[in-house]
A and B are shown apart, each in its own frame.
Chain A
Amino acid sequence: MADKTFIVRIKRQQRPDESVRWEEYELRYRPHMNVIICLRDIAEKPFTQSGVESTPVSYDANCLEEVCGACAMLINGTARQACTALVDDLEKPIRLEPLTKFPLVRDLVVDRSKMFEDLKRTHCWIPIDGTYDIGEGPRMAPSVQEKGYPLSRCITCGNCLEVCPKVNQRDPFVGAAIVSQVRLFNMHPTGAMHSAERLDALMLPGGIADCDNAQNCVKACPKGIPLTESLAAVNGQVLVHAVKSWLRGE
């Protein structure tokens, strides 16, 4: 009996300045396949459905268990992680495209360094005095931990930016992930001492005022991070901060 097969269509582009082409591959179905296995199958036999020899598809992946954030792409038009995209659950033919809101590198690889730069711009860290042993950290109520922990699971995948109508390659809007990180650091007892720096950064162009409240982000997040809640919370912090700064005559 012939093996069951299915088709994967991939949008390919060798370099940012080269033309786009679509390729179709016919792959042998096995149970529990995910999109990463599809891409590996292609690497092992890079021949399109019509038998033309191509090259293995470039893509990013590392952990293969949705915790590193690397493998975000558009799968059947939806921004999501490829490693948790199971073939069984996907409509065929499966369509793979790179994210569109980030500069393309090649095939399914995009450059998301913007997100890391924005984490820098918004001071997303706890400024400790040094790594020497100066005793325990601040105590923290379990209820605070339970609020902070989900936020700290953000894998910087960029799916929330991809679906945001306000994010594009020309405008500087930082996007929901970064705002949510600001919330996390402002929540921490030590981080809170420096919340003004972060809020200042979010009052600049590209800051939270750019959010139009479309609420797509929260639906796209693979980690279920309460992004709209974060946006609202930080928006509130920024307003209070602005009023205080104004009263102080800054």
Chain B
Amino acid sequence: MTQPKIIVVGGGLAGLMATIRVAESGIPVDLFSIVPVKRSHSVCAQGGINAAKNLKGEGDSTWKHFDDTIYGGDFLANQPLVKGMCEAAPAIIDLLDRMGVMFNRTPEGLLDFRRFGGTLYNRTAFAGATTGQQLLYALDEQVRRFESEDKVKKFEGWTFLSVVLDDGGVCRGICGMDLRTMEIRTFPCDAAIFCTGGIGVVFGRSTNSVVCTGSAQSALFQQGVYYANGEFIQVHPTAIPGEDKCRLMSESARGEGGRVWVPKQAGDERAGKDIPENERFYFLEDWYPKYGNLVPRDVATRAIHKIVFEMKMGLVGEPAVYLDVTHIPRETLDRKLEGILEIYEKFVGVDPREEPMKVFPAMHYTMGGLWVDNQNQATNVPGIYAAGECEYQYHGANRLGANSLVSCIYGGMLAGPAAVRYSRGLESGCENVPGAIFERERVRQQDITDALLNQHKGTENPITIWREMGDIMTENVTVIRYNANLQKTLVKLDELSERFTRINLQDRTQWANQTLNFVRELGNMLILARVITMGALARDETRGAHYKPDFPERDDANWLKTTKASYNEGNIQLEYEPVDTSLLQPRERKYTAKA
């Protein structure tokens, strides 16, 4: 066989790391991304990246990082890979440091670390409050270097539509669409690595970026890749609500000493800064004395919900609580948190150094994703790999803050070499696959697009359908889940899918037609929404981010298992597989203990 061909789809942290690893092994990579990779969603990550470097004399260790991660994830994560990630994390930080990331430093010139949620250790390395941006740029620069050596070829402004499967069900290439010319084309490859990120857009408004639709994951799912643990959706406790997006106020604000509170007196109309200390209720510190403001996200989010909706103690005029950093010295704020405080200032028009910020929970992250195996980031379809937020390993039922960046990079590090090994081991490469196999997929995709372009009687607006989907998903499938509401959501999704068949494309041009692309994504999102909702409906227990008041306990006897959704001619089926708990015995997850 000649030189293998490898394609990476997605150029966030995971995709770039996978690309670097493949290119480093001497195999050229074609890298596809909707946006120029430097504009990928990973730039939004603010707070930092975890690694138990133990540079603060706290006796931290990779085992403790592992324990925190498994415990924080309510024991739903397969343990060996998580252990591997935690052990690799310190070297990952070193690598990023060598690549030139401007991490914050101690006076001795060493890396500085701060504390994040769900741990008692200062384990999070950070570059101001724009850590994701800094990490992404470092990897982007390495990829640009490979690009200048012709080892990487970028296809930016292309969207992935589907994989090309041969008659044996093996992945032999991908089918993509050029978002400028709208040309649909196939690209042969021996292995494809998917690093297409999060799915926030399924929920309408979230902390995610515009391209985080999960469309690629859904397309793969419809072609036979399992989707695992879809029901585990993380809602971040502190974001600024917004009509276009909920802008995150990173956990690092609390890691640097930020405190969450509401006035003791419900309905207190005074401005936050005018309310005296003894008239404030620091409910997280009160309810969770040991972890305080740094309880895991699911716990903090539910606490805020309880304050606002059950106890009716939210701020006057809007569902919100205070996130307060005004007691922290200005100089510290500017050195460590400037990036996020600037966001608050720009979007709310208030200086958070002077006045407490008003925040509320928002959909943030998916723990679930494409099913991958326990060692190689390989999906169940030969030749398809996945890494980053789009796959389901590493975080179980709830992700700890600052663990995603490390899981993305670790996943990319594994996926690259695994795809290389697989490709080298193939008896016959993609160059021997008959052209008709590729043409078949191209025509199938072209037909879908043509049908949309030629539908002239449509009346339904894509943005309206999307809004309605987002609203019902946010209302019923985020923080609190009731089976009756989940059922209603499925009915609503049926209705939306039916209306989707009558969509009015509005734009039938064949040049940079963003509506066409969005509509194709919307079709995929509707299916993914169903997977998430069905998983949530089935799982009658409470675990991590999945909370059902009617089933308030974790139920290991029945539910210590991974949800695996599969797709068969329009039908979604759920099956389950055991979780690998070979290293840590599941124990009760409880953050209420005294300090």
Contact = CB atoms under 8 A, between A and B. Distances in A.
Interface stretch (B129-137, B269-277, B437-445): B129-137
B82 to A, nearest CB: 19
Interface string B497-511: 000000000110101
B105 A141 contact: yes
B133 A67 contact: yes
Contacts of B335: 146
B592 interface: no
A44 interface: yes
Given A55-B515, A191-B100, A142 B210 contact: no
A98 B127 CA distance: 33
A84 B347 CA distance: 7
Interface string A42-56: 011110000000011
B514 A58 contact: yes
Interface in A107-166: 107, 109, 112-113, 116, 119-120, 123-128, 130-131, 133-142, 145-146, 148-149, 152-153, 155-156
A250 B525 CA distance: 60
A152 B102 contact: yes
B436 interface: no
Interface in A54-112: 55-56, 58-70, 83-84, 86, 105-107, 109, 112
A203 interface: no
Contact of A152 (B137, B245, B413, B509): B137
Given A125-B145, A145-B102, A136 B210 contact: no
B480 interface: no
A69 B464 CA distance: 27
A33 interface: yes
A62 B209 contact: yes
Contacts of A156: 36, 38-39
Contacts of B347: 32, 34, 65, 84, 86
A25 interface: no
Interface string B551-585: 00000000000000000000000000000000000
A70 B349 CA distance: 22
Task: Pick the most buried of B138, B513, B514: most chain A CB atoms within 10 A of its CB.
Answer: B514
A248 to B, nearest CB: 26
Nearest to A38: B244
A167 interface: no
Interface residues of A, number: 70
Task: Pick the most buried of B43, B134, B244: most chain A CB atoms within 10 A of its CB.
Answer: B244
A34 B348 CA distance: 11
B114 to A, nearest CB: 15
Given A127-B145, A145-B105, A137 B44 contact: no
B41 interface: yes
A116 B43 contact: no
A244 interface: no
B58 interface: no
Nearest to B514: A58
Nearest to A222: B346
Interface stretch (B61-69, B91-99, B382-390): B91-99
A145 B103 contact: yes
A120 B130 contact: no
Contact of B144 (A45, A84, A125): A125
B141 interface: yes
B446 interface: no
A173 interface: no
Contacts of B507: 55-56
A62 B511 contact: no
A65 B345 CA distance: 11
Nearest to B91: A133
A181 to B, nearest CB: 9
Nearest to B39: A68
Interface in B56-94: 91, 94
B210 A61 contact: yes
Contacts of B141: 119, 124-126
B425 interface: no
A109 to B, nearest CB: 6
A149 B39 contact: no
Contact of A137 (B97, B130, B211, B247): B97
B483 interface: no
B413 A63 contact: no
B43 A34 contact: no
Nearest to A109: B512
Contacts of A127: 145
Interface string B321-354: 0000000000000010001000100110100000
B35 interface: yes
Contacts of A116: 36, 38, 144
B43 A63 contact: yes
A36 interface: yes
Nearest to B94: A136
A58 B182 CA distance: 14
A126 B100 contact: yes
A44 B464 contact: yes
Given A70-B35, A120-B147, 14 more contacts: A63-B43, A63-B210, A64-B209, A68-B44, A68-B209, A69-B38, A123-B148, A131-B95, A134-B98, A137-B99, A141-B105, A152-B127, A156-B39, A190-B98
Interface of B: 20-21, 24, 35-36, 38-41, 43-44, 91, 94-95, 97-100, 102-110, 127-128, 130, 133-134, 137-138, 141-142, 144-145, 147-148, 156, 180, 209-211, 242-245, 247, 335, 339, 343, 346-347, 349, 413, 461, 463-464, 506-507, 509, 511-515
The 7 closest A-B CB pairs, nearest first, are A137-B97, A139-B109, A125-B141, A126-B100, A106-B512, A55-B507, A44-B463
7 contacts: A44-B464, A64-B245, A67-B133, A125-B100, A137-B98, A141-B109, A149-B127
